[in-house]
Amino acid sequence: MTTKKTVVLGLIGSVVDSGAGPERWNRWRPTVDLCRHPDLPIDRLELLSAKKFARLAEQVTADIATVSQQTVVRPHEIELVNPWDFQEVYTALHYFARRYPFNPEKENYLIHITTGTHVAQICLFLLTEAHYLPARLIQTAPPTGGGGRARGEPGSYSIIDLDLSKYDAIASRFHQEQTESLSFLKSGIDTRNAAFNQLIERIERVAIASRAPLLLMGPTGSGKSLLARRIYELKKSRRQGGAGAGGVQGAFVEVNCATIRGDAAMSALFGHVKGAFTGALQARPGLLRAADHGILFLDEIGELGIDEQAMLLRALEDKVFLPLGSDKEVSSNFQLIAGTNRDLARQVADGKFREDLLARINLWTFHLPPLRQRPEDIEPNVRYELDQFARRENANVTFNKEARGRFLAFAKSSAAHWTANFRDLSGSIQRMATFAGATGARITLDLVEQEIHQLQQRWQHSVAGPAGDPPLAQVLTAAQARELDRFDRVQLEDVLRVCREAPTLSEAGRTLFAASRRSKKTPNDADRLRKYLARFDLSWNDLKP
């Protein structure tokens, strides 16, 4: 087996490699002394230098031939007018790297980063990290102690491999940090749903690396507000301030857009000057300015008026806007997280939402699934809600075994609609825990049965139409209903309930075909649901009261 050759690429050190006469041998010169290590035989040195250092390059080449006859030195001239100009240096080195005939199968490459300006060293590091230079880094240092050079020692060297996966301790630390971040985003809940855990992993990667807008979509109660705050706290804990890509230094500012309208919305978001309207007795900075260098969470962004949408778009793109009643622009550099349970694309088609604003906030879109799509996560969320109750009320409440089994069986069954998702679950646990706390701190089977009855009553009202009829009676005539087999009747009833709860056709399809869609390369849930409804002469619009 043939041993690979060792090839070093490095810049000449215009000061540290210089020297004239015999006294030059009494100085440590990094490039020359790199070739003097008996345990690091160098077969070839690619010596890069600007044209003005050609004579120094010749001197260094000659000196290396004296101390290491097996080392072939090949000088390369690179065009550098200003060695401290980052763009110029990177461009020159990148051009060299793209043209160099690397042959990793036969040669091992080392990049000498001791010489050259700090800018050049950084550029070599970046090119190596990006694999334009398929190499490891080598760092050299002068002999230690006053007599080291006098004894003819070449100093020391260390080789650095930028493939961090080879460093177990570093890889383990990164994995631990990511695990902690994922747990933090999930509020410490040990979720088991694979699709949801993958979603949180994607959110974590984007959250720590980007300040672009995030759009969280999902039904009411699916956890959008809590997740938005957790994203902010994660970025804050990572100290992502200043120039960092995902930097956040300011406050977390939250507003539900469904609660503000007209001038009140303009004033709340963008502020106003004194006298801007009747009752404006003093100026108000507005929520966008309050979120400067922080995060602005606009929940139910689909409820914003068209005028507010236009101003928000400009604030996102230019970081400036006009407060109500002012002719002087103000600025705010905030990151936007938007939440909605509406189909914004449909709202664009209906003229209720600006297409350009949707395009601006739709870079990172994450769909939070409803609770009914995550039955395996119900149990850990029950434990979480009991822990939260214990912290608030200073009362440790638990289920007895029979009651716990009954509640979990019901919660995971098709009889549990969870129309308000985690809000329903949280309210349910809080009610049972409150009653149990007053009677001995144990949730009994009787309490569970009472709660199940109460939930079913609520859901029956919420999924029924305005007249209280079951969903099937609202969309089919009595004659049509009589033509259905019992099997089709039960199936269609469930489909109609899901459609009534879902904000969009696509989300209803994802819920109904959650299992089978995993085996399809290109699932088209909306089209499958549309075809199913057409069997009964129904359309999506027929299902909305």
pLDDT string in tens for the chain (545-residue length): 568 899 999 999 989 998 888 888 888 999 999 999 999 999 999 999 998 999 999 999 999 999 999 999 999 998 887 888 888 899 899 989 988 999 988 999 999 999 999 999 999 998 888 788 989 999 999 988 655 455 568 899 999 877 655 555 555 666 677 677 787 888 778 888 888 989 998 998 888 888 899 999 988 889 999 999 999 988 887 654 443 445 578 899 999 998 887 778 888 898 878 876 766 678 888 899 999 999 999 999 999 999 999 999 999 999 999 888 888 889 999 999 999 988 898 889 889 999 999 999 999 999 999 998 899 999 999 999 999 998 888 888 999 999 999 999 999 988 888 988 999 999 999 999 999 877 667 899 999 999 999 998 888 765 444 433 445 666 676 666 667 787 888 888 888 888 877 778 888 888 888 777 777 767 788 888 988 888 887 888 777 64
Is residue 27, in this structure, part of any structural domain at all? yes
Residues 241 and 309 in one domain: yes
Torsion of CA 48, 52, 58, 61, to 10 degrees: -20
CATH number of the domain that residue 124 is part of: 3.40.50.10770
Is residue 433, in this structure, part of any structural domain at all? yes
Domain boundary among 367, 398, 425: 367
Is residue 80, in this structure, part of any structural domain at all? yes
How far is residue 57's CA from residue 62's CA, in Å, rounded to a whole number?
9
SS3 of 393-436: HCCCCEECHHHHHHHHHHHCCCCCCCCCCHHHHHHHHHHHHHHH
Please give the pLDDT value at position 479. 62
- Cα separation of the two ends of the chain: 78
Give the residue carrying structure tokens 């001038």. Answer: 263
Please give the pLDDT value at position 129. 83
Please give the pLDDT value at position 244. 46
Residues 81 and 230 in one domain: no
Residues 203 and 279 in one domain: yes
Q: Which of 332, 336, 309 is nearest to 320 (CA)?
A: 332
Please give the pLDDT value at position 243. 37
What is the maximum span of the chain, computed from C-alpha positions, in angstroms? Answer: 110
Residues 282 and 363 in one domain: yes
Is residue 263, in this structure, part of any structural domain at all? yes
- Burial (CB < 10 A; 0-12, 13-18, 19+), residue 423, is middle
Residues 449 and 329 in one domain: no
How far is residue 184's CA from residue 484's CA, in Å, rounded to a whole number?
49
Is residue 51, in this structure, part of any structural domain at all? yes
CATH number of the domain that residue 448 is part of: 1.10.8.60
Domain boundary among 404, 428, 463: 463
| Count of the separate structural domains present in the chain | 4
Please give the pLDDT value at position 502. 79
Residues 454 and 498 in one domain: no
Phi and psi angles of residue 263, each rounded to the nearest 5 degrees, phi first: -60, -30
How far is residue 87's CA from residue 91's CA, in Å, rounded to a whole number?
6
Q: Helix H segments across 44-85?
A: 54-67
Q: Which of 7, 66, 75 is nearest to 33 (CA)?
A: 66
List Cβ neighbours of 416 (8 Å cut-off, separation of 6 or more): 372, 410, 455
Residues 432 and 492 in one domain: no
Residues 346 and 445 in one domain: no
Residues 225 and 312 in one domain: yes
Is residue 497, in this structure, part of any structural domain at all? yes
Residues 477 and 457 in one domain: no
Q: Which of 13, 99, 113, 83 is nearest to 53 (CA)?
A: 13
Q: Which of 463, 50, 384, 363 is nearest to 188 (CA)?
A: 384
Is residue 175, in this structure, part of any structural domain at all? no
How far is residue 403's CA from residue 443's CA, in Å, rounded to a whole number?
7
Residues 340 and 409 in one domain: no
Domain boundary among 344, 367, 390: 367
List the domain range (segments joined by +) for residue 399: 373-463
Is residue 171, in this structure, part of any structural domain at all? no
Residues 75 and 143 in one domain: yes
CATH number of the domain that residue 237 is part of: 3.40.50.300
